[in-house]
Amino acid sequence: MLPADIHTVSSLVGFGDIKKVPPIDGWEEFLHDGDAYLRTGLGAEAKHRKAFTPEILYNVVAMAIEKFVMAALMQRGALPYNHTMGDLVESMEEAFPGAMGDLKDALLDLDRYQEICDVDTYNIVPPSREQIPGMLHLAVRMQKLVYKTTGGKIK
């Protein structure tokens, strides 16, 4: 048996009372920056530009992914705790439960190339040239997911 005043409380608060968090200004800019980083990486890889070493391409891919994630989160009025792939994935899982699917593990895998947050355990392992196409494909998949979640169309 419920207390008599439970009906009074439930009639005062409803799902309609929950306010939607407004988007954070500038999320579209992050989305377009992600597109630009991804175009740069795809173009450099397609043209076999020697100036774009695997290490540089890894960082271009990471920047594209970070910009895409930030755009999606900002549109939802959210921000990650930090900007490691682990933090970005965790924030995406909170904002879009289940949407990451198998992207989650692949994104987490990117963190193993650069552990640069702690000065004492600073570690960089450059990827091989053969790993870059897979990383670029991952960024394309992230782009598609973010456009789907934000309701935009890839240009």
List, for residues 14-32, the tens digit of each pLDDT value.
555 556 788 899 999 999 9
pLDDT number for residue 3:
57
Instruction: Give per-residue pLDDT as tens, 71-84.
Output: 999 999 999 988 88
Global pTM value: 0.82
**Contacts within 8 Å (CB) and 24+ apart, 129-136:** 129/54, 131/54, 132/45, 132/54, 132/57, 132/58, 132/61, 133/45, 135/57, 135/58, 135/61, 135/110, 136/38, 136/41, 136/42, 136/45, 136/57, 136/61
Catalogue all structural domains in the chain, each as residue range(s) with its CATH number.
25-150 (1.20.120.330)
Q: CA 9 to CA 27: how far, in whole Å? A: 38
Bridge partner residues of 123 (DSSP): 115
pLDDT bin (cut points 50, 70, 90) of residue 152 is confident
Q: What percentage of the chain exceeds 90 in pLDDT? A: 65
